């Protein structure tokens, strides 16, 4: 591997010692270039290099250097799983006195306690909320790292990333942007006033190819041709097993991923060694002990037992972690995944097979070059493979395949100038005090990527239109030349919800003295903040929804926002039905089967509804709708814990979930007071209550009663 020795660079002694302790004695070409271009001197850097080329270490060097100089460095990433992964990596530096923190939720929490850390790992959304709250330690932040900088292209998340970078520019912070798939890195570097580190260097050579179905062979760019004797996936599996390497297969739909994994399992099983079978059984035991779902266990366990697994967002986080662990330990030989796995999780393989067609918006489309490159970049494991291979499986012609292989990722473009993004971010800019006058707002937004394309006149028009809309919703008011947030507007921004979400909640409840659980749940599910949640197959609920709407059990779309379509309304009603069963303690597996969703989907729905119901309670309180505020506060707890109303008090205790709460209630133990008064021996005798569990529960219960928690 072509590395430059550490001794060539002026590094702080702590960093030099730490790197050597980790077995790092040299820098890759991109790392060396970043150092020479001022990485440790506060220069902004955009790094556009392939997967596994060492981008994370570039960020790490800047963050550790910042922390050693009594500043705070923040690492922003799109996913909680990625944040957890980076947090564990960075904790290495704790032995050198660098404190590491992580924050991925609690959007309305100012985050004052985070000021004690030298490095903070955060999701994009959490960092955005911190920048809105402006905690007292914010002036100590010197460096912000934006991982997966190409996420600016994402219609939902992109404006958040763009505004994080814009605020960092506004505050004069060092910005480190990282991406493997950017078509216009020079443009992004210019916007961020950054040095560009652009390289095609990889630690493991990538050879790309495609399956020619007419000639039944795989054609590689290096001139090799590999005959395919069976169908493609059978051939891929047999070749991998005979040559002892792992494979990642990217399908574009969950069902396809599951079906392909089932097909390959009998093939892979024949090649497993006795010791591997034993260790796979241990992995299955781990899944069984941690997962609460029989369905998930029964679908995954028989595959894992045979050295194969599927991986997609419908799985619980527990199941995904088990699959990832098994693959990293080289026990699971083939994983068939949807593209969510390509979003930065560290799971490389010798061969990566990519299917490029997906069904979207009622038609078949092809993925972008950037998406293909993101998946192909997973091919080749440093220290294990002499090279990596990426194979396009479903190109109809060689020309289509070569379009992906030889093509350049699409340009990253701003998604800021849509109505939803602007109302969220104009309000947050006013609330957080970055700009309050029209001229200041225009100046602030002129620093965004979207304003770099000579569209500032259009931007001015849209900012003015957004201001008028926010005034109509009573989020802001004008005093002289200044725009100031109302108490409602300030709360909405700091609660991290779309102003339209708040407006829908207010309109849906303002003229009602009371509402049913189903009404509240449907109302919450109809807000734009719930649109990111994946849900399908709801048209069959039409008659049932109309009947309930006619008797006032659920809201009609025209009563809350005339822009809500019938399909959106039915989608919201289906989400409400799922949540209604969840808070009435219907088993997870029953909900999953009944509504055709995955455990991961259920978790996402519950998390989103918990946050939005909590926000709705605060909004109602500000607007004088106290009865609704109280009902929504209780409902938020019930959604978070998945319990009926009589279990809310017990569910406050750490270690008591929906199952244990119901066991206690059935045993006549209904409150935290009852729990503390119950003899320890009796609690231990209950199902799912061992001695250690009881000790933890009682400790937590006493803290609640003493007011120390």
Provide the residue ranges of all domains of the chain, joining segments of one domain with +: 4-198, 205-405, 419-494, 499-642, 648-706
Helices 158-171 and 438-445 sit at what angle, rounded to 10 degrees? 110
Q: Domain 419-494 is of which CATH architecture? A: Orthogonal Bundle (1.10)
Report the C-alpha dihedral over residues 289, 303, 344, 185, rounded to 10 degrees: -170
- Do β-strands 363-366 and 72-77 pair in parallel, antiparallel, or remain unpaired? unpaired
What does the block give as tokens for 517? Answer: 């659980």
Backbone angles phi, psi at 568, to 5 degrees: -65, -40
3-state DSSP assignment of residue 122: strand
The CATH code that applies to domain 499-642 is 1.10.3380.30
Find the farthest-apart pair of alpha carbons in the chain and give their distance in angstroms, rounded: 79
- Binding-site annotation: residue ranges for ATP: 31
Q: Extract the annotated binding site.
A: 31
Q: Which helix (H) or strand (E) holds 78?
A: none
Of 639, 612, 590, 417, the residue nearest 532 (C-alpha):
612
CA distance linking residue 247 with residue 226, whole number of Å? 16
Using alpha carbons, select from 387, 378, 384 the residue that is nearest to residue 345: 378
**CATH fold for domain 648-706:** DNA polymerase; domain 1 (1.10.150)
Phi, psi of 288 (to 5 degrees): -65, -40
Report d(CA 161, CA 166) in Å as an integer.
9
- The answer to whether 98 and 359 are in contact (CB under 8 A) is no
Tokens representing 541?
């609920």
For residue 573, what are the contacts with CB-CB under 8 A and spacing of at least 6? 522, 525, 538, 541, 544, 545, 548, 554
0.85 exceeded by pTM: yes
Pick the CATH number of 205-405 from 3.40.50.20, 3.40.50.300, 3.90.650.10, 3.20.20.70: 3.40.50.300
User: What fold characterizes domain 4-198?
Assistant: Rossmann fold (3.40.50)
Query: What is the per-residue pLDDT for 573?
Result: 96
Q: Which residue from 457, 229, 249 is spatially nearest to 349, judged by alpha carbons? A: 249
Mean pLDDT by 10 residues, the chain (709 residues): 89 96 95 97 96 92 97 95 92 97 84 95 95 94 96 93 96 95 94 96 94 96 94 96 96 94 97 97 94 92 98 92 94 93 74 92 86 92 88 96 95 92 96 92 91 71 93 96 96 96 96 94 96 82 93 90 90 96 96 93 95 97 97 96 95 92 95 94 92 92 83
pLDDT confidence of residue 60: 97
Q: Do 4-198 and 205-405 agree at the fold level?
A: yes
């Amino acid at each position: 591997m072509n590395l430059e020795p550490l001794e060539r660079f002026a590094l702080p002694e702590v960093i030099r010692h730490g790197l050597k302790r980790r077995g790092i004695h040299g820098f890759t070409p991109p790392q060396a270039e970043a150092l020479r271009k001022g990485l440790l001197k506060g220069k902004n850097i955009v790094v556009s290099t392939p997967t596994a080329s060492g981008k994370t270490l570039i960020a790490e060097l800047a963050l550790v250097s910042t922390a050693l100089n009594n500043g705070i460095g923040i690492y922003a990433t799109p996913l909680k799983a990625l944040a957890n992964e980076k947090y564990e990596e960075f904790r290495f530096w704790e032995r050198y006195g660098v404190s590491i923190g992580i924050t991925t939720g609690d959007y309305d929490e100012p985050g004052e306690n985070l000021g004690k850390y030298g490095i903070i790992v955060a999701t994009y959304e959490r960092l955005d909320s911190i920048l809105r709250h402006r905690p007292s330690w914010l002036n100590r932040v010197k460096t912000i790292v934006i991982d997966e900088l190409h996420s600016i292209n994402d219609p939902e998340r992109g404006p958040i990333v763009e505004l994080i970078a814009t605020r960092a520019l506004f505050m004069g912070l060092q910005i480190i942007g990282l991406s493997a798939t950017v078509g216009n890195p020079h443009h992004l570097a210019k916007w961020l006033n950054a040095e560009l580190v652009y390289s095609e260097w990889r630690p493991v050579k990538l050879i790309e190819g495609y399956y020619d179905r007419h000639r039944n062979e795989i054609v590689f760019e290096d001139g090799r041709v590999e005959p395919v004797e069976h169908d493609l996936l059978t051939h891929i599996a047999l070749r991998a097993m005979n040559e002892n390497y792992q494979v990642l297969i990217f399908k574009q739909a969950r069902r396809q991923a599951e079906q392909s994994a089932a097909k390959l399992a009998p093939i892979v099983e024949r090649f497993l060694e006795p010791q591997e079978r034993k260790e796979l059984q241990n992995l299955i035991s781990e899944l069984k002990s941690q997962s609460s779902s029989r369905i998930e266990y029964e679908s995954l366990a028989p595959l894992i037992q045979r050295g194969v697994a599927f991986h997609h967002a419908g799985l619980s986080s527990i199941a995904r972690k088990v699959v990832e662990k098994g693959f990293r330990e080289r026990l699971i030989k083939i994983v068939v995944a949807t593209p969510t796995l390509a979003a930065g999780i560290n799971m490389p393989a010798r061969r990566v097979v990519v299917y490029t067609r997906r069904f979207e918006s009622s038609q078949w489309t092809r993925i972008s070059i950037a998406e293909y490159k993101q998946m192909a970049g997973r091919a080749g494991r440093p220290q294990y493979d002499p090279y990596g291979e990426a194979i396009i499986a479903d190109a109809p012609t060689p020309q289509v395949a070569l379009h992906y292989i030889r093509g350049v990722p699409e340009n990253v473009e701003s998604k800021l100038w849509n109505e939803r993004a602007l109302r969220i971010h104009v309000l947050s800019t006013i609330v957080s005090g970055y700009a309050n006058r029209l001229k200041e707002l225009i100046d602030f937004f002129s620093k965004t990527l979207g304003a770099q394309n000579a569209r500032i006149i259009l931007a001015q028009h849209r900012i003015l239109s957004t201001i008028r809309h926010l005034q109509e919703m009573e989020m802001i008011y004008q005093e002289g030349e200044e725009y100031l947030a109302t108490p409602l507007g300030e709360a909405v921004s700091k609660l991290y919800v779309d102003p339209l979400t708040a407006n829908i909640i207010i309109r849906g409840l303002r003229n009602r003295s009371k509402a049913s659980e189903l009404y509240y749940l449907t109302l919450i599910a109809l807000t734009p903040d719930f649109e990111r949640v994946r849900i399908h197959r709801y048209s069959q609920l039409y008659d049932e929804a109309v009947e309930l709407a006619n008797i006032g059990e659920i809201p009609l779309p025209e009563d809350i926002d005339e822009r809500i379509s019938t399909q959106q309304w039915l989608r919201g009603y289906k989400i409400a039905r799922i949540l209604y069963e969840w808070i009435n303690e219907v088993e997870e597996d029953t909900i999953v089967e009944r509504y055709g969703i995955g455990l991961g989907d259920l978790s996402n729905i519950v998390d989103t509804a918990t946050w939005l119901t909590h926000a709705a309670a605060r909004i109602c309180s500000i607007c004088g709708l106290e009865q609704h505020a109280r009902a929504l506060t209780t409902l938020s707890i019930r959604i978070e814990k998945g319990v009926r109303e009589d279990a809310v008090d017990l569910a406050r205790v750490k270690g008591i979930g929906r199952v244990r709460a119901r066991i206690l209630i059935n045993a006549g133990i209904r409150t935290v007071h009852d729990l503390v008064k119950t003899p320890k021996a009796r609690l231990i005798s209950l199902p799912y209550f061992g001695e250690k569990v009881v000790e933890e529960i009682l400790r937590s219960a006493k803290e609640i009663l003493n007011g120390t928690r």
